[in-house]
A and B are shown apart, each in its own frame.
Chain A
Amino acid sequence: DAGITQSPRHKVTETGTPVTLRCHQTENHRYMYWYRQDPGHGLRLIHYSYGVKDTDKGEVSDGYSVSRSKTEDFLLTLESATSSQTSVYFCATAFRQKPNEKLFFGSGTQLSVL
């Protein structure tokens, strides 16, 4: 499958601290996405990127920012973590942004905000 690496795999942090999650891909996919997964909510889109330095908001973007300075890296930052941001975060990539396109997922980051 596509080479998508998320780091860290697990993180515990305190409320109010900044947190950055990293997604690295080796497939040269143009499109990259950050989702959060919560029980009873499924996966919800936080932010996505359609090219270097080109990003846009998803449905649950409040409290999150992203950056993409290189094709292969997509960073998700929680400026001041809150307990409501405790979740599993998934990065996904796609070669094209077409509705029939397969998404390739990383293995997720379990984030706990205490």
Chain B
Amino acid sequence: DTAVSQTPKYLVTQMGNDKSIKCEQNLGHDTMYWYKQDSKKFLKIMFSYNNKELIINETVPNRFSPKSPDKAHLNLHINSLELGDSAVYFCASSQVPGGLQETQYFGPGTRLLVL
């Protein structure tokens, strides 16, 4: 019944490794997002896809690459992990942006720790 789910919930890895985080939503939404919440608790948008098409690509290192195989899934792949990548990554979804009602629904977050 979970609306937006993320796996894994926790991820501890060594610097230099490549890792992926998966996100799935069963709300039938057209738009999905990835956010990063740093140690100071600020949430910043990284990417957004609408119907598998990239619509937001913030200033994020090329090591981060989103992939949307279908509109219910948005995965985040990170190459050559660095210490500064340690954060909580949240996936979210909403109806088509620009609508008058576009509440975003968030997943539980993936806590990434790079050692």
Mutual binders A and B:
no
Listed in ascending order, the chain A residues whose CB lies under 8 Å from chain B are none
